[in-house]
């Protein structure tokens, strides 16, 4: 048998030699690889576990536990800071503000604030709690503010809006729906609308001839639009409606929410998540309710809103515009450019907001 020496092989078939000078590098490489192996496999396992939880664990949990969807939508247990005293509005910078409770129904009591208009705050150094209700009859306009999900009526951006409205000389009344803040009960779509309806009727009995306007933000726009529809159907329409960062319906709001991004394009997204919303009675079909809302409607939306995308507010506007009749007043859409940085909660910071509100009042109270 012929044995071919290494030196006689063609260059392409020769086995490369490992010189002694390269041995330290080779040893270092294998030592490094051996040291990094545990970290590599840990990363792989963590990634696979995360993907399993996101795409398999969470969907199975949601479908088998549909009760979780109201907790996610209303987020009433999320508040920051966690320990606050809502019975003391002064702690939030709200002077001349009354804190009280209203009993909506058995086992449901809602915490409520009434902020006086600035002119009254300037004129009256001290006013007793009993006189607050009497002041509602003084002819000043009233805003009933309906907040969005999570937090309480004492959340910072909400308090800043109360101050803005009070500085414009309006009464501001706001509440925490059932299950929020210091209110009792558990939130449902029907329940939070019932809370808002009760407070509106409570106000109506006390304002005399003063006009009541509705202002809803985010999830509160769904409450506001549904409340306005009910009131208009009863012939008790509010003087005007402001919808800040609104959505057209809960199905679309859930679809385009940031939390839905990992699932949105998956074939079972609607079956697991959107159907579960319906199973729990959560619809907030503002695009249907708004056709029955007869007073002037003002829609405010920032283009950089990442929670409720701008195009959902635009869709609601187009639906409202298309359903105006000779019996309804106009609908107005005011956009805010993305470079202003107002996002989902900071539209109140717009320098022109005071003028926008004043013009809204004039249009709402006009006979046309």
Catalytic residue among 218, 276, 289, 364: 218
**What angle is formed at CA 35 by the lines to CA 30 and CA 37, rounded to 5 degrees?**
95
Who contacts 38 (Cβ-Cβ below 8 Å, separation ≥6)? Answer: none
Catalytic residue chosen out of the listed positions 147, 217, 296, 344: 344
DSSP letters spanning 43-71: HHHHHHHHHHIIIIIHHHHHHH-TTHHHH
Give the DSSP letter string of 17-53: P--GGGHHHHHHHHHHHHHHHHHHHHHHHHHHHHHHI
Written as six digits, the tokens of 77 are 């247990």
Half-sphere exposure of 87 (CA within 13 A, CB side): 3
User: Within 10 Å of residue 351's Cβ, how many Cβ atoms?
Assistant: 7
What SS3 state is found at 317? Answer: helix
| Cis peptide bond N-terminal to 81, omega within 30 | yes
Q: Are strands 240-244 and 108-115 parallel, antiparallel or unpaired?
A: unpaired
For the question of residue 305 being annotated catalytic, the response is yes
Specify whether the CB–CB gap between 96 and 118 falls below 8 A. no
Catalytic residue among 99, 217, 305, 364: 305
Active site residues: 218, 305, 344
């Amino acid at each position: 048998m012929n044995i071919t020496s290494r030196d006689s092989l063609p260059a392409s078939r020769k086995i490369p030699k490992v010189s002694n000078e390269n041995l330290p590098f080779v040893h270092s490489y294998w030592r490094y690889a051996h040291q990094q192996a545990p970290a590599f496999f840990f990363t792989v396992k963590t990634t696979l576990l995360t993907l399993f939880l996101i795409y398999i664990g969470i969907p199975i949990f949601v479908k088998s536990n549909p009760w979780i969807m109201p907790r996610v939508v209303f987020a009433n247990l999320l508040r920051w800071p966690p320990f606050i005293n809502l019975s003391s509005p002064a702690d939030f910078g709200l002077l001349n503000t009354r804190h009280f409770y209203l009993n909506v129904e058995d086992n449901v009591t809602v915490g409520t604030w009434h902020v006086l208009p600035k002119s009254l705050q300037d004129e009256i150094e001290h006013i007793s709690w009993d006189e607050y209700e009497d002041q509602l009859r003084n002819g000043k306009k009233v805003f009933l503010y309906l907040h969005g999900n999570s937090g309480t009526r004492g959340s910072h951006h909400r308090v800043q809006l109360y101050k803005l409205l009070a500085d414009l000389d309006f009464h501001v009344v706001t509440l925490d729906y059932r299950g929020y803040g210091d209110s009792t009960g558990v939130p449902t779509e029907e329940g939070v609308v019932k809370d808002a309806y009760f407070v509106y009727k409570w106000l109506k009995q006390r304002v005399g001839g003063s006009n009541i306007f509705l202002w809803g933000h985010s999830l509160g726009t769904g409450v506001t639009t549904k409340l306005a529809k009910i009131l208009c159907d009863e012939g008790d329409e509010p003087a005007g409606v402001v919808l800040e960062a609104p959505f057209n319906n809960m199905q679309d709001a859930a679809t385009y929410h940031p939390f839905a991004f990992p699932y949105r394009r998956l074939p079972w997204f609607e079956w697991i998540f959107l159907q579960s919303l319906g199973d729990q009675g959560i619809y907030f079909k503002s695009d249907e309710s708004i056709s029955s809302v007869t007073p002037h409607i003002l829609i405010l939306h920032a283009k950089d809103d990442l929670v409720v995308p701008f195009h959902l507010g635009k869709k609601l506007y187009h639906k409202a515009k298309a359903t105006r009749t000779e019996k309804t007043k106009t609908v107005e859409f005011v956009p805010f450019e993305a470079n202003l940085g107002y996002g989902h909660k900071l539209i109140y910071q717009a320098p022109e907001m005071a003028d926008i509100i004043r013009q809204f009042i004039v249009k709402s109270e006009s006979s046309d």
